[in-house]
Amino acid sequence: MNKMLTFETIRNNYEVQVYLEFTDKAFILVDYKDHGKGHALYAANIAGKILKCLEYSKREQELAKIAAFVHDIGNVISKYEHDQSSAKIFLDIAGESNYNEEVFVIASAIGCHEDKSIDPVSSIAAALILGDKTDVRRERIRTKNFHYLDKHFRVAAACQNVNILVNRRKMNIGLHIEIDTTICSVMDYFEIFMSRTNYCRRASNILNCNFELYINKDKFL
């Protein structure tokens, strides 16, 4: 890997592409939701957009996009502790001779993205977590017959429209979701996604923002 780490070089990196594709194939077999390129790109776009709206530097936006794009590549080995394996794989791809502060900022952001016991360790980590944990799009669910899904998947399947809006003046990050209440209730959403919602709130706080949640245009947070 050449020395200047960019989003495009990581996105087009052969190893990264193979790991995301392999993960996707393995998860399709067990009907598990998309953790491949679709999710990686969504998380990267949202992470970059949030830091851009909050007027972080272009380089910080890029580091957040890189971290978000590769945050789940460790699933190629196992879902168990994939945050740690993703960080390690990223370090291997970056290459020891290229280690610098940016590489470690990315690795530590990836490494903490599932650890809800501590606050995100940096603004890059916070942006990655918001990109990852707000990805409740129904497109990630592969089964078409939603009524036979367990509750977690049914809630995700009910999320029709997902939008992240950042208000720089009010320092708010808003997650706007439209839920199909014929598939699940708003209460089901909270039951399943409460810890993820709290994590989004803590990540927003690291960026000096409040986190707001709107479901079917009603404000819940």
Q: Which of residues 131-150 bind Fe ion (CB under 5 A)?
A: 132
Which tokens belong to 38? 């679709």
Q: With helix as H, strand as E and coil as C, how does 145-167 read?
A: CHHHCCHHHHHHHHEEEEEEEEE
Segment interacting with Fe ion (CB under 5 A) among 48-56, 59-67, 68-76, 185-193:
68-76
Q: Which is nearer to Fe ion, 21 or 219 (CB)?
A: 21
Q: Are 130 and 204 in contact (CB under 8 A)?
A: yes
Q: Which residue has the tokens 């720089």?
A: 168
Q: Kindly state the smallest distance separating residue 132's Cβ from Fe ion, in Å.
A: 4
Q: Are 93 and 12 in contact (CB under 8 A)?
A: no
Q: Which of residues 71-90 bind Fe ion (CB under 5 A)?
A: 72
Q: Kindly state the smallest distance separating residue 55's Cβ from Fe ion, in Å.
A: 26
Find residue 159's DSSP bridge partners.
Answer: 179
Count the site residues for Fe ion by CB under 5 A: 2
Q: Kindly state the smallest distance separating residue 125's Cβ from Fe ion, in Å.
A: 13
Q: Which of residues 95-134 bind Fe ion (CB under 5 A)?
A: 132
Buried-exposed string 79-96: b where 16+ CB fall within 10 A, e elsewhere = beebbbbbbbbbbebbee
Q: Which is nearer to Fe ion, 115 or 185 (CB)?
A: 115
Q: Kindly state the smallest distance separating residue 35's Cβ from Fe ion, in Å.
A: 6
- List residues near Fe ion by CB under 5 A: 72, 132
